[in-house]
Structure 1
Amino acid sequence: MDHTLRISADEVNCLIYAYLLDSGFTHSAFAVKMEGQLDRSPHASKHIPRGELIELLAKSLLYLEVESHWKGDAFTTHCKAGFSLLEPHVCSPEATGEKTVQIPPGPAVLNETSVQLAKANGLLGDPIAKRKESPTALPTEGPAEKRAKRDPDDMEIDPSLDSTKANPPAVEPAKPVNILAESINKKPAKPKPRQQGPGDDTTNSKAILLLEGHKTEVFVCGFNPVKHELLATGSKDAVVNLWNLPKSPEGPDNFATPVSPTVIDYFAKPEQGDLTSLHWNVDGTLVAIGSYDSTLRVCTSSGSLYFSNPQHQGPIFTTRFSKSGKWLLTASLDGTACVWDVKDKRLHKQYRCHTDCCLDADWLDDETFATGGADHVIFIMRVDEPHPLKRLTGHLHEINQIKSNPSGTRLASCSDDMTARVWNISNLRSSEESIPGLVASEGVVVLEGHKHSVTTLSWCPDPTLGPHPLLATSSFDNTARLWDSVTGECLKVFTDHKRPVYTVSFSPDGRWLATGSGDGWLHIYNVLAKERRWSWYAGAERPGVFEIDWQVADGINRIALALECRLVAVIDVTKIPALQEDPTLLRRTGKAMYAS
């Protein structure tokens, strides 16, 4: 039977786009999406499992192994040369280069059974005239999205199968390794995946409420600052859910029950609407939503649309209400920032300062704000002035996030240049002409130590927990760090995560620091002791923890997590034994630690 194999450029572009998103290269992914016109692609709505491109490439290397070694003669039997996607394979008895597909010790030969199996699956043709068509992917077990993902260097082949001993090779006898049959029929035994749940044996798993309702990955979450029972979450398919959470029941054995959300869905093209940000105003009456479809949307706390506007010409990365709620600030990939008059539902002013994407923005006070861009620059702006008040330079790569401290005296920024910086803006209100610390050479504290892009940061809400205000950063180097924001000293490196750390957040009282990672773990650290006290695992399938929001109010103490597995987790901190510690004792211990 003739099977025509086709690989379209559109399919390849979709795989590359998914790979770039998985790797954290958001802006490169957007460029591929726009240049390849993937919005018009029939594959745009299809789910591409995490790591799919890498898995397909790994399978192609397995095919190359079969194609090169199917004869099983003495030369191929003793071949130790590696296989590469970028170089042709030449059999050699000496190891050359890095071996992507690792094979256990012993001669690797394909016996007759292997060859027949290969032919039956269309992987090998007649030995005299090999097929020239593109190889067919190896058969898989179950839907692709249900399979455990493997890195190329984890793809070891089990050598236990020996289906025939007829016609032994003309070399020293040894147990053959049936590479193809094993890769198809018998996968190497792996440890049983860890189940979703707490990392200790003392926490009741019912203390974590799992909310089902999203159909794709959940990217953002935020508690309402006034209506404490209200939680907003947003997912990749452009849907925002409003959850009316029950108050934590009294008693250690009483737990909240799942609820159904109010669904906000005002997006005409969900495939273009990946949500990037949610922010409530100070009154808790409005929530601003930013997404990849370039349209700003503001909704009421009941879910109705307050207003929308398509002013931006690129994805909106940030939505931020001013402290009074009068203004709304947005930052976009189109290189501009916009200030919106919330009451009048209109654009107040659009600022075109950056020469590249405007990636983040934050308010310094109710009339002053800062923007950071891919052009490595931070601008200080005022609402009614068209030109920047100050231009801050020093970063060597694009700026991922900027955030003002609670008192408005310092501005922190983090970048792909592997550093974070703290800028002194304490004299901003008193002088417009000479502001110490607003240039790279004066009054700037550079936080160095991360080995990869620094992606998020968080200020400790309590400035009295140390001699100076504390700042936390997270990075794609799999670590989070705690810093003295004045001296620049790294106080602690948290190394428990095994994959990039996506989010970092202090508790509202500053006592705890929570981190979430692509490895599926939430870790909570005691800030004064600088020790991990509790952990929770999101599960082996789609494990990422994308965002954390922590709420403490009116006897409520809980954490919301936006999860890659399409769930929202709400953790009742009052029912976590490891987090019930004496704050007075901890504060006293912490002061002694800093004094020493």
Structure 2
Amino acid sequence: MASAPILISADEINCLIHAYLQDSGFQHSAYAIRNEGRLDHSPHFTKHIPRGELVDLLSKALLYMEVEAHHAGNTLTANCKTGFSLLNLHVCSLDASVTPSVNLSIPTPVPAPLENELMSAKGTVQKRRSPMPALEDTRSEKRQRRDVEDQSSFVDSTNLASNYLSAKKDDSRATPSEVAADVIMNDHSVKKRKPSRSPALIDDEVDSGAIQLLHAHKTEVFVCAWNPAQPELLASGSKDAIVHLWNMSEPIPDEVDTSPTGDNPLTLAYSTNGTQADLTSLDWNRDGTLLAIGSYDSVLRVCTSSGKLYFSNDKHQGPIFSTRFSPTGRWLLTASLDGTACIWDIKEKKLFSQSKRHGDCCLDVDWLDDETFASCGADKMIHLFGLGVDEPIKTFQGHESEINQIKFDPSGTLLASCSDDRSTRIWNVYPVLSRNRTLVTPEPLILEGHKGAVSGIGWCPKTVEGKRTLLATSSFDHTARLWDAVSGACLQVFTNHKRPIYTLTWSPDGRWLSTGGGDGWLHVYDPHERKKVWSWRSETQKRGIFEIDWQQSGDVDRIALALESKKVGIIDISKIPALQRTMR
């Protein structure tokens, strides 16, 4: 009986490429192929495409190419030193020190079902997180990106074909998935699956009750945010457009990995009309009564702390990357891939104004005060606006690539920006906003040193009188840096991460600096002593840490983590001995 034909459509390929571009952080490229390929009308566009699926399928294709190239009759070439790649023609280079061929008990050519078996094998390649050069992502306000370096290093296919056929011979009853798994376990040239481990690596001195993992999300958790007025309330959002509101008022149980002991989280699930709706941003207003939700489905939603939808609007024509309440909560600012920044009147529940000054995607926004804000974009521009005024007060230029993030310093006189051009710039906005028109705007302070795109920036929330003003940056070069924001000197390079850093956050009192990355590590640094003081790692197959939110309120001192493992992490800082020292 003939096997069913293999069907591959251009539409399916476009959907795979779209998912790959998003996972890699190429948001405007993904936006372009989505529109030019009319993917919103594709029956495949609403299907869930696992992260890394395109790379996974291409890796399996390379395995089949090796079987084709090295199999001849009843022998299999075993001493080839040349690897296989997607774009280079394979030419065998034989190693004389290795037995040149292996006799197989299968006298006929490779069986026809082999391709289907290889393609259906589960877990052949370990998945990784971007997003994001993100997702994924992408961490700036962009969706976290995947580690591009990992995309080219999943599988070393040397001898993999021979192991596959040997395993098939030894256990003819094994399923294709089991055989493929055995191949990975037995081939020392391939990254092996690790045995089951405890769900986290923590310091032996740490109270086991210091770490809690909350289970409710069904997909990767991208964002999380503590309520500023109700310390027990935590919001988290995931890839499937679900927002959970957690009541964290009860004591943390004495287990490392457990479900919350209080009530189940309140789940907010809004209709997304079948489109992609990854959540990109959560922001509470100052009073903690309203939560702004940014999403890939281009719809702005604002809900109450009790979970009721306050209002929604679909004015944006592209994914919303950033939502920011003004300091008083009177206004809400949003940034979108459609190139616009919108101001929303919260009391009236309607659009107040829309800025269309960016020539490309608008990637981030930030408020200076209730009357002044800034926006940045992929057009390499930063615009400073006054409320209700269409013309920018000032446009800052100088970056050579798209600008990922902007943040005003606590004093309101400086604006930091970071870019894919590997630099961070500090702009003095005081002369621009001063009534003294004789003041000249100085050139920006340029901070250089990162070897990859700078994805995140963070000002130290509090500066001790007589001490330096500190700025921290994180990059896809796997490092974080600490800078003197006045002189521009790099004070320290932190090199503990092994994968891109997705998120960077200071403790509210300025005592600690924390980073999270694609390697699953959370590192906490003492910025004053310039050293790492504590670390924790998510020991799951999907390890990425996409966002950190640090809460300090009264006696409460804890961290919330948005995790690729579909969990929300809670770390009680009061139970971490290494973090109990007073700041010098």
Which amino acid counterpart does residue 289 of structure 1 have in structure 2?
Answer: I
Q: Is the 8 A contact 2:243 2:269 kept in 1?
A: yes
Q: Is the 8 A contact 2:210 2:252 kept in 1?
A: no
* Equivalent-residue separation in structure 2 for 1:205 and 1:119 (angstroms): 53
Give 5+ residue unaligned stretches, structure 2: 129-149, 168-177, 187-191
1:392 partnered with 2:393:
no
Where in structure 2 are the equivalents of 1:316-327 lying within 5 Å? 316-327=320-331
Quickly say closer, same or farther: Cα 1:115–1:328, change in 2 above 3 A. Answer: farther
Question: Aligned residue for 2:116?
Answer: 136
Question: Aligned residue for 1:131?
Answer: none
* Equivalent-residue separation in structure 1 for 2:558 and 2:228 (angstroms): 13
* Equivalent-residue separation in structure 2 for 1:35 and 1:432 (angstroms): 50
1:200-248 deviation line (CA, Å, top 9, x unaligned): 2222333212111111111111111101111111111111111111254
Question: Aligned residue for 1:169?
Answer: none
1:394-451 deviation line (CA, Å, top 9, x unaligned): 00000000011111111000000011111111234323856643xxxx3311110111
Question: Aligned residue for 1:84?
Answer: 85
Deviation at 1:566, TM superposition (A): 1.0
Q: Is the 8 A contact 1:399 1:414 kept in 2?
A: yes
3-state SS of 2:417 partner: strand
Which amino acid counterpart does residue 34 of structure 2 have in structure 1?
Answer: K
1:122 partnered with 2:123:
no
Question: Aligned residue for 1:554?
Answer: 554
1:511-560 deviation line (CA, Å, top 9, x unaligned): 11110101111111112112212112122321110001000002111100
Q: Is the 8 A contact 1:139 1:184 kept in 2?
A: no
Which amino acid counterpart does residue 333 of structure 2 have in structure 1?
Answer: L
Where in structure 2 are the equivalents of 1:212-227 lying within 5 Å? 212-227=215-230
1:110-132 deviation line (CA, Å, top 9, x unaligned): 4223565x634534xxxxxxxxx
Q: Is the 8 A contact 1:209 1:258 kept in 2?
A: no
Where in structure 2 are the equivalents of 1:219-238 lying within 5 Å? 219-238=222-241
Match among 208, 211, 215 for residue 208 of structure 1 = 211
* Equivalent-residue separation in structure 1 for 2:266 and 2:181 (angstroms): 46
1:487 partnered with 2:487:
yes
Q: Is the 8 A contact 1:455 1:502 kept in 2?
A: yes
Match among 341, 348, 362 for residue 352 of structure 2 = 348
Quickly say closer, same or farther: Cα 1:443–1:143, change in 2 above 3 A. Answer: closer
Question: Aligned residue for 2:24?
Answer: 23
* Equivalent-residue separation in structure 2 for 1:353 and 1:490 (angstroms): 33
1:125-182 deviation line (CA, Å, top 9, x unaligned): xxxxxxxxxx435166557798899934544547889979xxxxxxxxxxxxxxxx98
1:569-592 deviation line (CA, Å, top 9, x unaligned): 1111111122111x1xx41xxxxx
1:113 partnered with 2:105:
yes
Q: Is the 8 A contact 2:469 2:484 kept in 1?
A: yes
Match among 304, 321, 328 for residue 300 of structure 1 = 304
Which amino acid counterpart does residue 264 of structure 1 have in structure 2?
Answer: L
* Equivalent-residue separation in structure 2 for 1:49 and 1:69 (angstroms): 31
Question: Aligned residue for 1:245?
Answer: 248
Question: Aligned residue for 2:185?
Answer: 188
Q: Is the 8 A contact 2:300 2:320 kept in 1?
A: yes
1:269 partnered with 2:261:
no
* Equivalent-residue separation in structure 2 for 1:528 and 1:338 (angstroms): 39
3-state SS of 1:60 partner: helix
**Structure 1 length-normalised TM:** 0.84
Which amino acid counterpart does residue 116 of structure 2 have in structure 1?
Answer: T
Which amino acid counterpart does residue 538 of structure 2 have in structure 1?
Answer: A
Quickly say closer, same or farther: Cα 1:106–1:424, change in 2 above 3 A. Answer: same
Aligned length: 543
Q: Is the 8 A contact 2:221 2:566 kept in 1?
A: yes
Q: Is the 8 A contact 2:226 2:233 kept in 1?
A: yes
Which amino acid counterpart does residue 122 of structure 1 have in structure 2?
Answer: P
- Of structures 1 and 2, the one with the larger relative CO (CA 8 A, separation 6+) is 2
Quickly say closer, same or farther: Cα 1:412–1:114, change in 2 above 3 A. Answer: farther
1:465-508 deviation line (CA, Å, top 9, x unaligned): 87321111111111111111111111111111111100000000
Question: Aligned residue for 2:146?
Answer: none
Q: Is the 8 A contact 1:237 1:271 kept in 2?
A: no
1:377 partnered with 2:377:
no
1:64-113 deviation line (CA, Å, top 9, x unaligned): 2221221279996664444331133234559xxxxxxxxx9724534223
Which amino acid counterpart does residue 545 of structure 1 have in structure 2?
Answer: I
1:317-364 deviation line (CA, Å, top 9, x unaligned): 111111111111111111111111111111111111111111111011
* Equivalent-residue separation in structure 1 for 2:45 and 2:255 (angstroms): 47
* Equivalent-residue separation in structure 1 for 2:522 and 2:509 (angstroms): 19
Q: Is the 8 A contact 2:293 2:300 kept in 1?
A: yes
* Equivalent-residue separation in structure 1 for 2:571 and 2:378 (angstroms): 35
3-state SS of 1:68 partner: helix
* Equivalent-residue separation in structure 1 for 2:76 and 2:156 (angstroms): 26
* Equivalent-residue separation in structure 2 for 1:432 and 1:361 (angstroms): 26
Question: Aligned residue for 2:580?
Answer: 580
Where in structure 2 are the equivalents of 1:142-157 lying within 5 Å? 142=122, 151-157=153-159
* Equivalent-residue separation in structure 2 for 1:251 and 1:196 (angstroms): 14
* Equivalent-residue separation in structure 2 for 1:244 and 1:74 (angstroms): 63
Q: Is the 8 A contact 2:474 2:481 kept in 1?
A: yes
Q: Is the 8 A contact 2:212 2:255 kept in 1?
A: no
Which amino acid counterpart does residue 533 of structure 2 have in structure 1?
Answer: R
Structure of larger gyration radius:
1
Give 5+ residue unaligned stretches, structure 1: 95-103, 124-134, 165-180, 588-596
Quickly say closer, same or farther: Cα 1:35–1:407, change in 2 above 3 A. Answer: same
Moved more, 564-573 or 459-468: 459-468
3-state SS of 2:12 partner: helix
Question: Aligned residue for 1:168?
Answer: none
* Equivalent-residue separation in structure 1 for 2:425 and 2:126 (angstroms): 42
* Equivalent-residue separation in structure 2 for 1:502 and 1:550 (angstroms): 15
Moved more, 301-310 or 63-72: 63-72
Deviation at 1:13, TM superposition (A): 2.1
Which amino acid counterpart does residue 33 of structure 2 have in structure 1?
Answer: V
Quickly say closer, same or farther: Cα 1:44–1:466, change in 2 above 3 A. Answer: farther
Deviation at 1:274, TM superposition (A): 1.2
* Equivalent-residue separation in structure 2 for 1:466 and 1:567 (angstroms): 42
1:440-463 deviation line (CA, Å, top 9, x unaligned): xx3311110111111111111111
* Equivalent-residue separation in structure 2 for 1:205 and 1:468 (angstroms): 37
* Equivalent-residue separation in structure 2 for 1:108 and 1:182 (angstroms): 24
Question: Aligned residue for 1:170?
Answer: none
Which amino acid counterpart does residue 86 of structure 2 have in structure 1?
Answer: L
Q: Is the 8 A contact 1:362 1:404 kept in 2?
A: yes
* Equivalent-residue separation in structure 2 for 1:74 and 1:247 (angstroms): 65
Identity %: 52
Question: Aligned residue for 2:55?
Answer: 54
Match among 190, 196, 200 for residue 197 of structure 1 = 200
Quickly say closer, same or farther: Cα 1:250–1:365, change in 2 above 3 A. Answer: same
Question: Aligned residue for 1:463?
Answer: 463
* Equivalent-residue separation in structure 2 for 1:260 and 1:459 (angstroms): 35
Question: Aligned residue for 2:145?
Answer: none
**Structure 2 length-normalised TM:** 0.85
Deviation at 1:28, TM superposition (A): 2.2
Moved more, 358-367 or 532-541: 532-541
Where in structure 2 are the equivalents of 1:408-427 lying within 5 Å? 408-427=412-431
